[in-house]
Every structure is written in structure tokens, then in C-alpha cells.
Amino acid sequence: MVKRGFYIGRFQPYHNGHQSVLEAISDEVDEIIIGVGSAQMSHFVNNPFTAGERIMMITRSLDKLKCPFYVIPIEDVQRNALWAAHVKSMSPPFDVVFSSNPLVVELFREEGTLVVSPEMYERGTHSGTEIRRRMLMDENWQELVPSVVVDIIEEIGGVRRLSQISKKD
Ligand SMILES: Nc1ncnc2c1ncn2[C@@H]1O[C@H](COP(=O)(O)OP(=O)(O)OP(=O)(O)O)[C@@H](O)[C@H]1O
Ligand SMILES: NC(=O)c1ccc[n+]([C@@H]2O[C@H](COP(=O)(O)O)[C@@H](O)[C@H]2O)c1
């Protein structure tokens, strides 16, 4: 039987913390499904990138991953109580969820799925929040993400977009 793991995040943007967790997970399972959460969101200060842009960041960063993976967009739903079932209805089947998000952990446990919370990787600096802050302050955000993510953000004008949408009236 193929053992599949499911990992979800917003990936705004995908960073080295996510990469480190996914490399570790690839030793534990045969295949990984990566859910791009809040897929409907883009062009907000806390969610600047589209689902397609995030899928590109993840797919290119993982080209040397040890196991096969699938990247699927998952839109939010109004009712938390239905969310785990919503995810399962959109995803290839999986046996275990990897997440450190307390709400995600609770919703999948209540639904009856095994959940494992991976260790954080240099969380002080490696968070989407810190990377977006650095982009806006013109500080070194590039060191916190895989080099292909730097290329993609350059290609789509990501820093300019973030800075434009962060302007107040
Ligand atoms: N540095 C890290 N090391 C390990 N796991 C991480 C790290 N940062 C985030 N994660 C985990 O990755 C998953 C996806 O997180 P997400 O995409 O929201 O990243 P984030 O850095 O927490 O973003 P934001 O700061 O924008 O909320 C979550 O389970 C989160 O706990
Ligand atoms: N009701 C819902 O739609 C619901 C509930 C729990 C998590 N989620 C999503 O799962 C993702 C979790 O990712 P993070 O761990 O990065 O926060 C987010 O996109 C979040 O919006 C959605």
C-alpha cells in the first residue's frame, strides 16, 4: 500500500521552512500531497500571490524531492466543521496530515485522520509574515526562500505588487 501524506499551507510565499519540513516528510511517506490553502486569495497584503504562482514556487522548489508529489489548490469554506471533509473531497487519498496549525490539527483529528506536527525550522525568521515584512522594508528576504522562488517573485513583479497594495489612502 502506498502511504500518502498531506501538507497544507498558504505559502505566501513558499520558504525554506516549508522546504525543510517537506524534505523530512519525504523520508516518512511514499507520496506527498501539498494543499495550497486559501487558494481564492491573492493581491492582499497578507496573501499577495495567486494559487497558480504559489503552485509554481512549490513545484520548481521540489524538483529534487525524493518522492512523488502533487500540488492542489484548496479554497476556504465558510464552515470550519466541514473543512476537513472539503479537503478530502478535493485531494488524492491520504493516510496522515502534517501540520502545526492548531485549527488544522483539531479539524482533522475530529474527522478521524492521523495528524503529525513537524518541528519548526528557524521559525524566528522563516515565516511568511517576516518575509513579506522584509519585502516591504527592502531588507534581505531572498535568503529565506529557495532561489527559484526569488526568480518567480522577480518574474511576476511580486515585491512591486506587494508594495503597491500595501499603500493606504
Ligand atoms: N519555519 C517553519 N518551519 C516549519 N514549519 C513551518 C515554518 N513556517 C511555517 N511552517 C508550517 O508550514 C505550514 C504552512 O504555513 P504557512 O504557509 O501559513 O507559512 P507561515 O510562514 O506560517 O505563513 P504566515 O506567516 O504568512 O502565516 C503550517 O503548518 C506552518 O506551521
Ligand atoms: N474553514 C476553512 O476554510 C479553513 C479551516 C482551516 C484551515 N483552512 C486553511 O488551511 C490553510 C492552513 O494553512 P496555514 O497553516 O498556513 O495557516 C489556510 O489556507 C487556511 O485558510 C481553512
CATH number where 32 lies: 3.40.50.620
89 Cα: distance to centroid of ligand 2 (angstroms): 15
Ligand that lies nearest to the alpha carbon of residue 36, given by its number in the listed order? 2
**Which of 38, 44, 47, 132 should be mutated for ligand 2, with most atoms under 8 A from CB?**
38
- pLDDT of 168 above 90: no
**What's 119's DSSP letter?**
P
Alpha-carbon torsion 100, 111, 32, 155, what sign? negative
Which residues are registered as beta bridge partners of 32? 5, 69
pLDDT at 169: 59
User: Which atom of ligand 1 lies closest to the CA of 117?
Assistant: 29
So what's the ipTM on this one? Answer: 0.95
Number of domains in the chain: 1
Cα distances (Å, whole numbers) of residue 2 to 5, 20, 89 = 10, 22, 19
- Dump pLDDT digits (tens) for 17-46: 999 999 999 999 999 999 999 999 999 999
Query: Which residues contact ligand 1 via a Cβ below 6 A?
Result: 9-12, 17-18, 21, 99-101, 120-123, 126-129
* Ligand 2 pocket, residue 5 CB under 6 Å: no
94, 74 contact by CB (below 8 A): no
- Dump pLDDT digits (tens) for 122-161: 888 899 999 999 999 999 999 999 999 999 999 999 999 9
44 Cα: distance to centroid of ligand 1 (angstroms): 18
Domain range holding 103?
A: 4-165
Quote the cell numbers at residue 21: 519540513
How distant is the alpha carbon of residue 56 from its chain centre? 12
pTM: 0.96
